[in-house]
Homo-oligomer: A and B are copies of this chain.
Amino acid sequence: MSAPGSGIQVRSKIWLEIDGQPVFGQGREELLRLVQKSGSINAAAKAMGITYRKAWTYIDAMEKRLGFPLVNRLKGGSGGGESTLTPHAETLLEKFDILQQGFNEMVNRKFVELDFKGL
């Protein structure tokens, strides 16, 4: 058996909830950023390595729980369709990014200080 504590690592996460239901977190942030960048839910899903179905479900759930749209969707057209972020979504991304900044680093620093590896 390996030495106690080896390979152990700390992880942390922040997310938003409404009525105890998760509404926004790191994974969904990345998804929205990729939609913003690519103009397509489909392309964003591929970039994340998840199915379109899953990406769509995430976005749909977010919007239903928040009560306002995050993505403007267009079906058909020249490119087959496209998706852009609403101003609400942009604001959300901006604030969440600030909220998250530095937290992981801080946690990791404390983790090392406490010497979890040498339990």
Contact = CB atoms under 8 A, between A and B. Distances in A.
Contact of A67 (B4, B12, B91): B4
A69 B16 CA distance: 35
Contact of A10 (B4, B99, B111): B99
A50 interface: no
A4 to B, nearest CB: 5
Interface residues of A, number: 34
Contacts of A92: 119
Question: Copy number of this protein in the oligomer?
Answer: 2
A119 B91 contact: yes
A99 to B, nearest CB: 6
A78 B67 CA distance: 57
Contacts of A72: none
Interface string A86-116: 0010011001001100010001001100111
Contacts of A2: 67
Contacts of A13: 12-13
A19 B4 contact: no
Interface in A1-39: 1-2, 4, 7-19, 23
